[in-house]
Amino acid sequence: MGLLALSTISLLVVTLVLSEAAAAEQNTAEITRLRDVVVTGTRTEKPVLEVPVRTEVVNRREIEKTHARDLKEALEDVPGLLLKPIHGKTGFQVWLQGINSDRVLVVLDGEPISPSTGSSVDLSQIGAMDIERIEIVKGATSALYGSNAMGGVINVITRKPSLPQSYQLSLDGGSYGDKNLSGDSSDISARRLAANLALKRPGGYLQLNADLRDKDGYTLDPDTFVSEGEEGSKINLNLRLAWTPDDQTEIYILPRYYRENISNNTLSDLIPGVGKLKKRKNEDASRFGTTLGVERKLDNGGRLRGWLLRENWQDVTQQDVIATPEIEQQRTAEIDTWRAELQWDRPVGENQVLTSGLLLGQEVMNQYQGTGRIRAPEVDSAEKRNIEAYLQDDIFIGEQWEVVPGIRMQEDSDFGFHVAPRINAMFTPKWFADVITNVRMGIGRGYRVPNLKERFFVFDHSQLGYMIIGNDELQPESSDSYQLGIEFARANEFHADITLFHNRIKNLIDTRINPAKSNPAMNIFDYQNFARAMTQGVEISGSRRAGRFEMKGSYTLLDSKDRDTGKTLKERPRHQIKLGADWYSKAGGTVLTLRGVYQSREFYDAENLLESPAWTTWDLKLTQAVGDRFKLFGGIDNLTDEHRDPDVRYDRRPEAGRFIYLGVRFDG
């Protein structure tokens, strides 16, 4: 790690001597973040302090300041949000208010992202270069977003050009030090190259984005063959080509391509007379989708928006014993998705806005083992179709009240008819002359129909001694969500809010071991409707600006329970604290960023017999402007090298150890 450490120290020294730069512009932009316009809470544009549904925002400035490489890293500082490794697969998933990722909907510009692993979206598959901002709405939002939005919605808003021509290029590399899989602590074991090009003309615009992340892998125990961090690459290529015949209309085509080719080293269970076999798990996955869309602003202040999506997801996984010349097992899964949606926003008088929409969807899944002509079909054209309609009425009552009732109806080809109502309200009292005060209330019904993977898919983790198989007899889940919060803000100075939440889930779908199908060499799990669950708590967050400093922090108290057994739900820490501090130098063009996370201990198992220890991590970031267009940046993630013990299976502390990196960005 010597070379990287020396380079980081050199960068800190350079920071102190570089002269005038562009930090003032960054500084001014930072203090206006409370004026961000958001769309997720009501599906209509509103300033974040005026939206009746609490919406948290991670904007482009925060993404660049923290050097986030993908969506997972961009979300790390959101209050109360839990980021967890996907069990049995690579990547990370997101939990909101103690509700796991299978019940959190992740959308890209309002369009649902097809989960690549079970029902969870892998956040590390979405590169950060194309992200303009991220909007987070917690609590059941099925009335606006349908199935899978029981715990909330994360809406990734992509970038659009604002100048006739702009481009950005970013390059960085770093090392895990003595945990590098290569064994050489000076190796650059993780690299990223990202670029964005935008052209805007009176009749339209073009936005091209490329984001490549490449890693050599890491291991928490250099004396073993096992690698916790994957080796390989993930790439995003996105193009948005739009025709704007006038100021009111946009017609666009949006192709998106994702590809990952990654591997992990594993060991088999102990085989008598042989020992443990060295294995390599390979995964080659790709997603290609194209959206055709149109958006038209109407003369009466309304809006009409429609889009059509066609997407294909293909995932090839292999189990390879290193000592043998052949691939022992290969499984291929493919999902074809079609979606079409039409949304109409229509003002009714001066104090009411109606939002209505219609959505059609279809998914077809195939899965087989083997290669070439030697194939053993496991799932043959399993199909799911749905038609959905939603209606929302945004009503202003006087100067201090806004009430937003809404309802969604879904007809599913396999599970019939479902209704999800909700109502939100915001009261804006005039308690303080110079402080904005908002009181928000919300009640919502959530639902989720079992997806094709839960019903038919086979997750083969036999290298770890188990498999997960689908269950075609599952029933839909449902939930009730209650939210109450108060918010205080003074422009450019401070922001604070307190939110109470309570969620109840029925017919919870999860995996349980099936004794009848298991054997001594292999545990077989399948999906079951097995529980009623409850999560509740309080979330407190705030930020304060003073001179060159900006500070923020949050505390979340989470209480969770299996309502059938009375036990605490596993993997839900009771306490979480997130802290952040930024220091700006106008004269030097410098931004110094510190971020910290504390999570209390959590239960590993449903019986509450095994506990994973509490943990704390700190990240230190530095951005230094050099002239008008270049920025040098670097940092240390997980400063204290806090990570799990690889020999303790129930240790759920962070998987990655200390990571030191340097980079450069060019803005043109």
Q: For residue range 619-661, what is the model confidence (pLDDT) as tens digits?
A: 999 999 999 899 999 999 999 999 999 999 899 999 999 999 9
Residue 378's identity, in one-letter code, is E
Q: How far is CA 272 from CA 59, 521, 522, in A?
A: 55, 12, 16
Domains of the chain, earliest start first: 2-667 (2.40.170.20)
Nearest to 159 by CA among 124, 197, 121: 197
Q: Which residues of 37-70 are buried (b: 16+ CB within 10 A; e: fewer)?
A: ebbbbbbbebebbebbbbbbbbbbebbbbbbbbb
Token pair for residue 200? 């805007």
| Residue 44 pLDDT greater than 80, yes or no | yes
- Rounded Cα distance, 622 and 635, in Å: 6
Burial class (CB in 10 A: 0-12, 13-18, 19+), 435: middle
- Rounded Cα distance, 529 and 227, in Å: 34
pTM for this entry:
0.90
DSSP 494: E
Average pLDDT of the segment spanning 178-207 = 94
Tokens 């349980």 correspond to: 512
Lowest mean pLDDT among 261-270, 451-460, 495-504: 451-460
Phi-psi region of 235 (alpha: psi -120 to 50; beta: other; left: phi over 0): beta
Across the chain, mean pLDDT equals 89
Tokens 């202003």 correspond to: 396
Average pLDDT of the segment spanning 408-432 = 94
Q: For residue range 469-517, what is the model confidence (pLDDT) as tens digits?
A: 888 888 999 999 999 999 999 877 899 999 999 999 998 887 777 787 8
Residue 521's identity, in one-letter code, is A
Q: How far is CA 28 from CA 23, 553, 584, 585, in A?
A: 9, 21, 11, 12
Counted residue by residue, the chain has a size of: 668
H-helix or E-strand containing 260?
strand 249-267
Token pair for residue 380? 């043959």
| Residue 27 pLDDT greater than 60, yes or no | no
Token pair for residue 56? 């948290």
Across 113-117, 270-274, 402-406, the highest mean pLDDT is recorded for 402-406
472: Cβ contacts below 8 Å, ≥ 6 apart: 455, 456
Residue 163: Cβ within 10 Å count:
8
Token pair for residue 82? 């839990």
Residue, of 134 and 117, whose pLDDT is higher: 134
User: What is the distance of C-alpha 316 from the center of its chain?
Assistant: 23
Instruction: Let me know the angle formed at the C-alpha of 340 by 338 and 344, rounded to the nearest 5 degrees.
Output: 165
Nearest to 202 by CA among 253, 239, 249: 249
**Which pLDDT value is given to residue 326?**
82
Residue 148's identity, in one-letter code, is N
Nearest to 232 by CA among 244, 246, 214, 255: 214
Furthest C-alpha separation in the chain: 81
Tokens 């076999």 correspond to: 277
